Amino acid sequence: MARQLNLILVGPPGAGKGTQAERLQADFGLAYISTGEMLRANVKAQTELGIAAKAHMDAGGLVPDELILAMTAARLAEDDTRDGFILDGFPRNLAQAQALEHQLQEEGRRITAALLIDVPDAEIVKRIAGRRVCIKKGHNYHVHYDPPKQVDVCDQDGSRLIQRDDDRPEVVLNRLLVYHEQTAPLVSFYDERGLLRRVDGMRAPGEVHDHIRALIATLLLEDSL
């Protein structure tokens, strides 16, 4: 049996992990596992884990590691992960990374590569804080990369454009602070294991995708030798 292609996407919020995950899913037929989507699915289905997670979310707290780990373990046991998976948003810290490593070892599986999509903080703030959305239909714009014809007015329905609260610069800077404190240490964790592959996230999305595909092709070739 061919080795599974098990990938982790690492990088700050706004680096483009979701975009690349969708393309890789299409390329290789891998299961795409997003922490956010996994949480929402469990809450919607009212699973035991989802009910417990919702209690923390409703109280304004973070969902504990043990609940995220249990959800991930259950998700990785599903049939569509048989040929491999892409993890986006997990692991989020060293404790989760160590638990995932232990879980996979027990199952005779392992991570193929951790792909770091590297983007400087200043660019992340520019990308996220520049987003605008119309209040009527939710059409998306960007003040730098995809501006409306008229400032703060939707081209399609003429409604007012707003900046979501989560996209405000001070909120983005706080998210980056959390990333550097909790998630950035994963870079050293996977680098020490020879699994880290760096990708320049400042390139256009298509170029980032091409670079990642080339990295994966090299990994698969090395595995076949």
Cα–Cα distance for residue pair 192/114, rounded to 1 Å: 11
pLDDT at 1: 40
Residue 213 inside a domain? The answer is yes
- Average pLDDT of 172-190? 93
Structure tokens at 14: 């706004």
Q: What value, to the nearest 5°, has the Cα angle with vertex 7 and ends 30 and 225?
A: 95
Active site residue 82: no
The residue range of the domain holding 106 is 5-30+83-121+172-224
Q: Is residue 127 part of a domain?
A: no
Catalytic residue among 92, 127, 132, 197: 92
17 catalytically annotated: yes
Residue at 187 is within a domain:
yes
**132, β-bridge pairs:** 141
Strand partners, 150: 153
Query: pLDDT class for 133, splitting at 50, 70, 90?
Result: very high
- Does residue 10 fall inside a structural domain? yes
Q: What integer pLDDT is reported at residue 223 of this predicted model?
A: 74
Look up 213 and say whether it is catalytic: no
Catalytic residue among 82, 137, 164, 193: 164
What pLDDT score was predicted for residue 72?
Answer: 93
Is there a domain that residue 72 lies in?
A: no
Q: Sign of the CA dihedral 129, 56, 16, 118?
A: positive
pLDDT(225) > 70: no
CB 142 within 8 A of CB 148: no
pLDDT tens-digit profile of 44-102? 999 999 999 999 888 877 789 999 999 999 999 999 999 999 999 899 999 999 999 99
pLDDT at 130 over 80: yes
Mean pLDDT, rounded, for 138-144: 95
CB 7 within 8 A of CB 113: yes
- 17 within 8 A of 6, measured Cβ to Cβ: no
pLDDT in tens, 28-42: 999 999 988 899 999
At 102-122, the pLDDT tens digits run: 999 999 999 999 999 999 999
Each residue's pLDDT tens digit, 186-214: 999 999 999 999 999 999 999 999 999 99
Q: Tell me, yes or no, whether 138 lies in a domain.
A: no
User: What is the tens place of the pLDDT at every residue in 58-72?
Assistant: 887 778 999 999 999
Cα-based distances in Å from 84 to 28, 31, 45: 9, 7, 24
Instruction: Give the per-residue pLDDT at 47.
Output: 92
Is 164 considered catalytic here?
A: yes
Q: How many domains does the chain have?
A: 1
Whichever domain contains 107, its CATH number is 3.40.50.300
pLDDT of residue 224 exceeding 90: no
Give me the pLDDT at residue 57, please.
Answer: 83
Residue 222: per-residue pLDDT: 80
Is residue 2's pLDDT more than 70? Answer: no
Is residue 146 in some structural domain?
no
Query: Helices 169-178 and 121-129 sit at what angle, rounded to 10 degrees?
Result: 140
Evaluate whether residue 203 is within a structural domain: yes
- Residue 51: predicted pLDDT: 93
Rounded to two decimals, the pTM is 0.88
Catalytic residue among 3, 54, 175, 213: 175
**32 Cβ contact list (under 8 Å, min separation 6):** 21, 22, 24, 25, 85, 86, 88
Say what percent of the chain tops pLDDT 90: 86
User: Catalytic: which of 75, 131, 132, 197?
Assistant: 131
Annotated active-site residue in 17, 126, 132, 197: 17
The answer to whether 131 is a known catalytic residue is: yes
